[in-house]
Amino acid sequence: MFGGGHGRGHGRGGHHREADPYQEQVEPLSVTDRRMLGWFARYLGPHWPRLVLGLVGMLGGTAAALYYPLLLRPIWDDVIGARRIDMLPRLGGLLLATFLAQHFFGALRMNVMHRLGQRFVLDVRLSTYRHLLRQSLSFFESRRTGDTMSRVSNDVNAVEDMVVHGVDTLISDSLMVIGTVILIFSQNWRLALVGLAPLPVFVVGIIIFARLIRPLYERIREELGDINSRLQESLEGVQVVKAFRREDHEFERFEEDSTEYYRANIKGIWLWSTFFPFMGFVTSVGLVLVIWHGAALATTGLATGGQVVTFLAYMQRFYQPVGSLVRVHNVFNRALASLARIFQLLDEEPAVQEKPDAVELPRAEGRVTVDDVTFRYPTGEIVLQDVSVTAEPGETVAIVGRSGAGKTSLVNLIPRFYDALEGRVLIDGVDVRDATLDSLRSQIGLVLQDTFLFNDTVRTNIRYGRLDATDEEIEDAARRAYADEFIQELPDKYETLIGERGVKLSGGQKQRLAIARALLADPRILILDEATSLVDTEAEQLIQKALEELRHNRTTFVIAHRLSTVRDADKILVIEGGHIVEEDSHEELMARNGLYAEMYNRQFRFEDVWPDQDGGFGGGMPG
């Protein structure tokens, strides 16, 4: 019911990447850049007072850092050169005050800006996860879970590095570079031109580096998503892996993905380790030129020794933040590659959406009408064609048929997991597309073949059916589901941790917890999709008793392969090839001697050879 997936294919001939639905929507990076600025405005706008305070810290710290070299000239020329020792206390005090101001404003800047950055990342992570939860089932069935997880975790972490560290450095170092350029030209334009001579090489180098590194980082993020997908898939299917002795095979596939990720990172390291030492050498050339030309000017009287020393200090203050800005550019490239992937996720609109004027569905009586419905999945053929059925309040409707006939597709339309291509689904005469999703789904309970339980306590898993339920209501639901008996035997009873997907419980115990959860939710409409097909006979007897309690006074749809479990249904629908080919009670359908009778008799003969321990029917329907 919730199946489907997306993986990668590998062959011995090389590394092959299957088409990823996300890749069809890759945005131009210029669009991503603009959207990034929009994000900053939207998320940081409400925090503008703190932003102003952070900018004050940046301006104060930059001003103090720029003032320090100006003190070196009188110390060199007057105190040392002219032996004016009387000036030393004042200049020393100014130096101390300058350093104090620089570090005070620096601490203010880092505290405010980093806190703002963390708030920004929190908002991004929460909005991304909320958007993910809004998606329809079709979204999750066509995406790799590991890759989606990577976008919410790893890609958001990359954005965090940019926002928390990159933006702060970008603004403060940009102010430092601009202030330095203004001051050095005001001091001595000849030395300024000499000192900035290597700058064009810097600019060209950054452009080349950016063009090489950003696509590489996009590939790195994709490879990391592939690793997460492979790991998540193999761990979830570990029982199948071990049953078929495919540990080595899975390791080889994981090794191939990991090796591709390693190669992409090695290429990034090579670019990084080649580019930045070269840029460091370029800055050294600038300093050498200032010393060379400054010394020549000093000997001719066109500059003083103090001016040369001041210029050397400013050149360090210029090239150090320029080098830092190049590194920040690298951080931004990583983050932009991740932002592109996050934006692709945020651009996904749910296939099933509420109407703006959707109405709250009142407590339902339970009449369900499927009116001339045709349905197909987004990428598949039509699975239901002109299907109509009505279930009166309190009726039990069984749906049977061969695998792939469209049974689960039919019941999936009731809670609007999907929308019909044609026709309508009505609850008490209200089209489900006209109702809010919350009010619709609160009327419907599901107990599925593959029971999902959270890695939490027994009590918490049952409470999931109604979050405001009291402990007494939870335990009452467990007793009515025939679960209280085994719960009392658990080490910590209702506070026992049941492990991931309820791994510490048997199949029958998990099903009874799922029934207790549904009982607590108290739905008016109930969907049972193969609720007993994976348990043994003894467990099935208890589950059937629990299901009888659950079905009482509720409209119930039962999907079953085991036809002996639906003989007492008020109505049995036989679906074949997307059509309802038979509809009646068990006795009437047997009397017609049609498809239902054929399936039932075939199953009866099969089960008669291997009867259950209680002499009942235990086999599943062939196919």
Span 295-350, pLDDT tens digits: 887 777 777 788 788 888 888 778 778 767 767 777 777 777 777 778 888 888 88
Check whether domain 352-443+523-623 has CATH 3.40.50.300, yes or no: yes
Q: What is the pLDDT of residue 238?
A: 66
- Average pLDDT value over all residues in the chain: 78
Report helix, strand or coil for 129. Answer: helix
Residues contacting residue 50 through CB under 8 Å, at least 6 positions apart: 112, 115, 116
Predicted confidence (pLDDT) at residue 488 exceeds the cutoff of 80: yes
Predicted confidence (pLDDT) at residue 513 exceeds the cutoff of 70: yes
User: Are 506 and 538 in contact, with CB atoms under 8 Å apart?
Assistant: no
CATH superfamily membership of 27-346: ABC transporter type 1, transmembrane domain (1.20.1560.10)
Predicted confidence (pLDDT) at residue 535 exceeds the cutoff of 80: no
Among 57-61, 247-251, 613-617, the range of highest mean pLDDT: 57-61
Residues contacting residue 8 through CB under 8 Å, at least 6 positions apart: 16, 17, 18, 226, 229, 230, 257
Question: Which residue is it, tokens 């601009």?
Answer: 178
- Give burial (CB, 10 Å; 0-12/13-18/19+) of 62: buried
User: Are 420 and 377 in contact, with CB atoms under 8 Å apart?
Assistant: no
Residue 51 burial (CB count, 10 A): 16
DSSP run (H or E) holding 60: helix 48-74
Q: Where are the domains of the chain?
A: 27-346, 352-443+523-623, 457-520
pLDDT single digits (tens) 390-403: 999 988 899 988 87
CA diameter of the chain = 121
Half-sphere exposure of 61 (CA within 13 A, CB side): 23
The fraction of the chain above a pLDDT of 70, given in percent, is 86
The letter for the amino acid at 250 is E
How far apart are alpha carbons 480 and 618 in whole angstroms?
Answer: 24
What DSSP line would sit under 251-304, residue for residue? HHHHHHHHHHHHHHHHHHHHHHHHHHHHHHHHHHHHHHHHHHHHHHHHHHTSS-
- Specify the higher pLDDT residue, 337 or 69: 69
Q: What is the pLDDT of residue 545?
A: 74
Report helix, strand or coil for 341. Answer: helix
Predicted confidence (pLDDT) at residue 170 exceeds the cutoff of 70: yes
HEC-encoded secondary structure of 200-228:
HHHHHHHHHHHHHHHHHHHHHHHHHHHHH
Token pair for residue 453? 């339980």
Q: What is the pLDDT of residue 614?
A: 38
Q: What is the pLDDT of residue 611?
A: 44
Q: What is the pLDDT of residue 228?
A: 75
How far apart are alpha carbons 341 and 158 in whole angstroms?
Answer: 11
How far apart are alpha carbons 282 and 209 in whole angstroms?
Answer: 15
Strands of the 382-391 sheet, one edge to the other: 382-391, 368-376, 422-427, 430-431
Q: Residue 462: name the closest of 442, 439, 487 by CA.
A: 487
- pLDDT tier for residue 36 given thresholds of 50, 70 and 90: low
Please report, for residues 376, 445, 465, 512, 526, the alpha-carbon distance to residue 519 in angstroms, rounded to integers and kept in the order given. 32, 8, 8, 10, 10
Q: What is the pLDDT of residue 425?
A: 92
Report helix, strand or coil for 572. Answer: strand
Q: What is the pLDDT of residue 208?
A: 81
How far apart are alpha carbons 408 and 3 in whole angstroms?
Answer: 11
Please report, for residues 29, 36, 343, the alpha-carbon distance to residue 33 in angstroms, rounded to integers and kept in the order given. 6, 5, 11
Instruction: Give the orientation angle of helix 199-236 with respect to helix 145-152, to 10 degrees.
Output: 130
Q: Residue 267: name the closest of 228, 325, 219 by CA.
A: 219
Residue 397, beta-bridge partner list: 557, 571
Strands of the 396-401 sheet, one edge to the other: 444-448, 525-529, 555-559, 396-401, 571-576, 579-584
Predicted confidence (pLDDT) at residue 13 exceeds the cutoff of 50: no
| End-to-end C-alpha distance for the chain, whole angstroms | 17
Lowest mean pLDDT among 80-84, 255-259, 591-595: 80-84
Q: What is the pLDDT of residue 97?
A: 92
DSSP label of 606: H
User: Are 414 and 425 in contact, with CB atoms under 8 Å apart?
Assistant: yes
Residue 284 burial (CB count, 10 A): 12
- pLDDT tier for residue 249 given thresholds of 50, 70 and 90: confident
pLDDT single digits (tens) 379-429: 777 888 898 999 999 888 999 888 778 888 898 899 888 888 899 999 998
Q: Determine the average pLDDT of the residues in 250-258.
A: 83
How far apart are alpha carbons 395 and 398 in whole angstroms?
Answer: 10
Is the CA virtual torsion 277, 279, 280, 284 positive or negative? positive
How far apart are alpha carbons 466 and 521 in whole angstroms?
Answer: 5
How far apart are alpha carbons 559 and 499 in whole angstroms?
Answer: 28
- pLDDT tier for residue 195 given thresholds of 50, 70 and 90: confident
Question: Which residue is it, tokens 């009291």?
Answer: 470
What DSSP line would sit under 428-457, residue for residue? TTEEGGGB-HHHHHTTEEEEESS----SSB
Predicted confidence (pLDDT) at residue 509 exceeds the cutoff of 50: yes
Predicted confidence (pLDDT) at residue 100 exceeds the cutoff of 90: yes
Q: What is the pLDDT of residue 426?
A: 92
How far apart are alpha carbons 407 and 415 in whole angstroms?
Answer: 14
Q: What is the pLDDT of residue 532?
A: 62
- Give burial (CB, 10 Å; 0-12/13-18/19+) of 527: buried
- Give burial (CB, 10 Å; 0-12/13-18/19+) of 205: middle
The letter for the amino acid at 346 is L
Q: Give the β-pairing of 422-427 and 368-376.
A: antiparallel
Q: Residue 208: name the closest of 312, 114, 279 by CA.
A: 279
What DSSP line would sit under 517-558, residue for residue? HHHHH--SEEEEESTTTTS-HHHHHHHHHHHHHHHTTSEEEE
- pLDDT tier for residue 501 given thresholds of 50, 70 and 90: low
Rg (CA), the chain: 35
- pLDDT tier for residue 615 given thresholds of 50, 70 and 90: very low
